Amino acid sequence: MRSRTLTLAAAAGAALLATAALPASASGTTTPRSAQEGSVSAADLLAKVTSCSQISNGKYRTDEETSATVPVCGKNGAVFWKADMDVDCDGQVTTKCNGDTDPWFQDDTAFHQSDGKPLRADSLPYVVVPSSSSIWKYTSAGIKGGGVVAVIYNNKVEYAVVGDTGPTQIIGEASYATAKALGIDPNPETGGTDSGVTYILFKNSQVSPIESHSAAVSLGDSLAKKFLQNN
């Protein structure tokens, strides 16, 4: 996971302003592969996370230069937070994710595929959780590598897995593939979105193998239905 500095954030903003003047077809905006995964709507999930019962000991920043405003919230069978989305390109080296495309690139992820290799950020939707600290320890809440996450943005639901860990004080990051599927610019240097993303992590869940996105969608849809029933 990376933490944007003020300088890099300003550069990204300049790039976004430059693309804003271009026609939509030329702006590099990605088209999500589907508007909805599974049978549970974004609206129904969001209706269950309108209020927060805070379970973290403090709050997180969304970037290095921002103040700490994001709590981790508890629900029956899940935890959630509402934040931005920075784009994680860590893991296997590919044409989209490498040291040239991503200034913060690392060739490993906290959790690995069934064959022992790091995850592949440009093809596998995964979410980054903050490393354990005095603010919050994700494992104490029943969250583990390969756990299912419903990521909601702009009335779309994308199912992902817990795939990597990041800084102890920053929250709000997901893989290139997650961003792209939700229609968010997946460029790891200048992409992402500043707000509007909800992450619902289902407790004690685990996709096997972790690299199977279809398994994540199937399990995620089942857990989302239970989440609606129990909250």
Cβ distance 121 to 177 under 8 Å? Answer: yes
- Distance (Å, whole) CA 36 – CA 220: 12
- Distance (Å, whole) CA 195 – CA 215: 28
Confidence grade of residue 36 (pLDDT, cut at 50, 70, 90) = confident
Cβ distance 210 to 146 under 8 Å? Answer: yes
Percent of the chain with pLDDT over 70: 85
Site of tokens 């693309």: 19
Among the ranges given (14-18, 158-162, 205-209), the one the predictor scored with the smallest mean pLDDT: 14-18
Longest dimension (CA), the chain: 47
- Extended strands (E) in 109-208: 126-130, 148-153, 156-166, 173-175, 193-202
230 in helix, strand or coil?
helix
Q: CATH code for 6-230?
A: 2.40.40.10
Residue type, 95: T
Rounded to a whole number of angstroms, the distance between the first and last alpha carbons of the chain is 31
pLDDT tens for residues 98-110? Answer: 999 999 999 999 9
Site of tokens 């890099």: 8
Task: Spell out the domain ranges in the chain.
Answer: 6-230
**What's the pLDDT score for residue 116?**
98
pLDDT tens for residues 122-135? Answer: 999 999 999 999 99
pTM over 0.75: yes
